[in-house]
Amino acid sequence: MKWKTIVRAFKNVWAGLTKPPEGRVVDYDPRVDSYRDTFTKGLTFARLDTILRNGDDGDITEALQLFEEIERCDLKVSGAAGTRRRALTRLEWEIVSAADKQPDRVDKNLADEAAAHVRERLDEIENFKTGLRELARAIGPNLGVAELVWERGGLIDIVPIRTWRLCMKPSESLDIRVKTAEEQSYGIPALSPKFVVYMPESMSGSPIDRSLSRAQAITWLFKKLAVSDLGAFCELFGMPVRVGKYEKSASDSEKRALKNMLENIGSRAWAMISSSVTMEFIESSQRGTAPFEAFINWLDREIGTAWLGGNLISNTTGGTGTYAAAKVQDEVRGDILDADIEAEADMVRRQILTPMVSFAFPGRDVPVPYFERSQPEDSTQVAMNISAWQKVGLPVGLEWARQKSGIPKPEDGEKILEAPDAFAEGITEGVSWDSEGATASPQPQGGADEVSLNELTLGIDRITKAGDPELAEQMKRRLEEMLARM
């Protein structure tokens, strides 16, 4: 154990002696930032295969630019990617002391001091939230890089690095590199504590290997070609076919005149022809959905499934049962969100908070605080959980229940909301529920106060699963009013 203590002490002393380079290393430079290639225009499967193969081998610059360009030019991809990332970045973040996570393993005073220092410095950085949003763009291509700007050992800014500046040099190492004005070919290694390299799906080798954007690129190219074919189809569909007929004795000049007339009549809407020439307009009689449209819709659903875990989250038809199905798939998306939160928290703690603490407390073994996202509580789910815990005999504190549900305690003399009898009848009349589910048979009910908490929570669950959100929302409000009177 002594050698481990010596090594840790040496690392702490070294961290105290080493200071990060101050100022910006990567700044705007027209030689690097002013010119970029376009990859989606005229993209073929052969060209796409070359870009992806090169990316797998470490030449990631073109692949990353292609992925970004696809997001910019496709509404479906942009919407699905934005929904996935905003689900993460819209959540409030907080810095949690290591003493709250490991109360028996760290010095509480030292851990709280480190957490307070980190909170204060991050609150002073205006672009910190923007930097996190930019780093969240790594969800998809599996790579996002930002530069940490230090001043006198303290973090003062976080600046995202654009995709066309990122590259690798596999012949030397697997490190991500950043192109600079001085090093425009292979750049400089993006190493801590100067750079943050975010790869949500940690893997060896190229970061884009098996990434979401890589798989999406093939699907998107199918869609692009199908949209092009659909555009050509829409241009001709329904347009009458112009047929010109000429006599056998017609001269070459009359034939050329007829040809020019047929080409121009669509825009000029008039023609002058010889009496020896006849012209017919054959109307299109094709009906039904074009195969391109069905194919495009299927590809859009696949893209939604890849990003969100289920296409009903972004593609609802309004049919029977759609709401219930979307609720189930939204739970699947919850699992994806939990994974995104965990990956981001690990990245921020290791690559941002750790160097901040090391430079602020040189030579000291200071516990690094934790970065957490707080998800809003679902009051309906909280009420259902409380009811379930009560059923098994688990005591539930009233103040804790109020805190979790977000319903404050009524002040002295404050009026309490009371549901009118008509409202109580509206949510119970014609609907009954039991352990088997909701039914439409009428069940006599008493006044509003006789509706039990268990019945309401069970009813909300059953009616939600049955696909009636309006009635479930009414019962949810009723449950909140009952909790407010407790």
- The DSSP secondary structure of 353-391, one letter per residue, reads IHHHHHHHSTTS-PPPPEEEEEPPP-HHHHHHHHHHHHH
User: Do 259 and 324 fall into the same domain?
Assistant: no
Those residues whose C-beta lies under 8 Å from the C-beta of residue 86, and which sit 6 or more positions away, are: none
Q: Quick one: 197 and 134 in the same domain?
A: yes
DSSP states of 284-326: ----S--HHHHHHHHHHHHHHHHHHS-GGGT-----TTHHHHH
Separation CA 40–CA 411 (nearest Å): 62
Residue 194 CB contacts under 8 Å (≥ 6 apart), including other chains:
20, 21, 25, 147, 148, 150
pLDDT higher than 70, residue 260: yes
Residue type, 343: A
Query: Distance (Å, rounded) from C-alpha 208 to C-alpha 53?
Result: 10
Per-residue model confidence as pLDDT tens digits over 1-37? 455 555 555 544 444 445 667 788 888 888 778 777 8
Is residue 373 scored above 80 in pLDDT? Answer: yes
Confirm if 20 and 355 have CB atoms less than 8 A apart: yes
Closest of 173, 286, 182, 180 to residue 240, by C-alpha: 286
- C-alpha 146/C-alpha 481 separation (Å) is 48
pLDDT for res 63: 94
- What rounded mean pLDDT belongs to the chain? 77
Same domain, 340 and 412: no
Contacts of residue 396, defined as CB under 8 A and 6 or more positions apart, other chains included, come to 386, 389, 390
Q: What integer is the mean pLDDT of 440-464?
A: 52
| Percent of the chain with pLDDT strictly greater than 70 | 68
- Res 271 pLDDT > 70: no
Q: Higher-confidence residue: 266 or 153?
A: 153
* Boundary of a domain, candidates 348, 376, 404: 376
* pLDDT top residue among 417 and 181: 181
Q: Which of 34-43, 275-284, 415-424 has the highest mean pLDDT?
A: 34-43
Average pLDDT on 394-423 reads 72
Predicted local confidence at residue 298, as pLDDT:
87
Q: How confident is the model at residue 71 (pLDDT cuts 50, 70, 90)?
A: very high
The two structure tokens encoding residue 328? 């189930």
Strand order in the sheet with 166-168: 166-168, 176-178, 188-189
Paired tokens of 82: 């934005």
In the predicted structure, residue 118 carries a pLDDT above the cut 80 = yes
Position 200 scores a pLDDT of: 92
Which pLDDT score is estimated for 443? Answer: 41
pLDDT band of 90, cuts 50, 70, 90: very high
Smallest Cα–Cα separation from 402: which of 482, 343, 309, 323? 482
Judge whether 213 and 142 are in contact, CB under 8 Å. yes
Are residues 166 and 303 both part of a single domain? yes
Q: Which of 357, 376, 395 is at the close of a domain?
A: 376
Residue 486 and residue 383 in contact, taking contact as beta carbons nearer than 8 Å: no
Per-residue pLDDT at 28 = 84
Number of domains present in the structure of the chain: 3
385, 399, 402, 414 from 408: Cα distances, Å: 19, 9, 6, 12
- The answer to which of 223-227, 349-353, 365-369, 413-417 has the lowest mean pLDDT is 413-417
Bridge-based pairing of strands 195-198 and 241-246 is unpaired
Distance from C-alpha of 127 to C-alpha of 239, rounded to nearest angstrom: 55
Does residue 303 share a domain with residue 185?
yes
Q: Indicate whether 156 and 215 sit together in one domain.
A: yes
CB neighbours of residue 174 within 10 Å: 12
For residue 388, the model assigns a pLDDT of 75
Residues 6 or more apart whose Cβ sits within 8 Å of residue 292? 226, 227, 229, 230, 233
- At residue 350, the pLDDT reads 95
Paired with 246 in beta bridges are 277
- Confidence (pLDDT) at 142: 95
Angle at which helices 322-348 and 453-466 pack, to 10 degrees?
Answer: 100
Residues 384 and 371 in one domain: no
Where is pLDDT greater, at 183 or 118?
A: 118
The predicted structure's pLDDT at residue 423: 40
Q: What is the DSSP letter of 448?
A: G
Q: Each residue of 174-222: pLDDT tens digit?
A: 899 999 888 888 889 999 899 999 999 877 778 998 899 999 999 999 9
User: Could you tell me which residues are beta bridge partners of residue 280?
Assistant: 243
Lowest-confidence segment of 25-39, 57-71, 223-237, 315-329 by average pLDDT: 315-329
Euclidean distance between CA atoms 146 and 161, whole angstroms: 5
Average of per-residue pLDDT across 417-446? 44
Asked if 129 and 61 sit in the same domain, the reply is yes
Amino acid at 353: L
Query: Residue 63 belongs to what domain range?
Result: 1-237+290-376
SS3 280: strand
| Model pLDDT, residue 483 | 67
Q: Position of tokens 């012949």?
A: 171
The pLDDT value recorded for residue 92 is 92
Instruction: Verify that 96 and 15 share a domain, yes or no.
Output: yes
Domain shared by 327 and 383, yes or no:
no
The two three-digit tokens of residue 148, written as one number: 């940490």
The arithmetic mean of pLDDT across residues 122-135, rounded, is: 93
* Residue 433: predicted pLDDT: 41
Q: What is the pTM of this model?
A: 0.68
246 and 372 both lie in a single domain:
no
**Count of Cβ atoms closer than 10 Å to residue 55 Cβ:** 26
Cα distance between residue 35 and residue 27, in whole Å? 15
Q: Which of 250, 283, 316 is the last residue of a domain?
A: 283
pLDDT tens for each residue of 310-367: 655 555 544 445 555 555 445 457 788 999 999 999 999 999 999 999 999 988 889 9
Residue 163 confidence (pLDDT) = 92
Residue of 69 and 474 predicted with greater confidence: 69
- For the cut 50, the answer to whether the pLDDT of residue 431 exceeds it is no
Compare 137 and 28 and report the one with higher pLDDT. 137
Whether residue 266 sits in one domain with residue 175:
no
Between 467 and 232, whose confidence is greater?
Answer: 232
Specify which residues 242 forms β-bridges with: 281
Q: Averaged over 26-54, what is the pLDDT?
A: 87
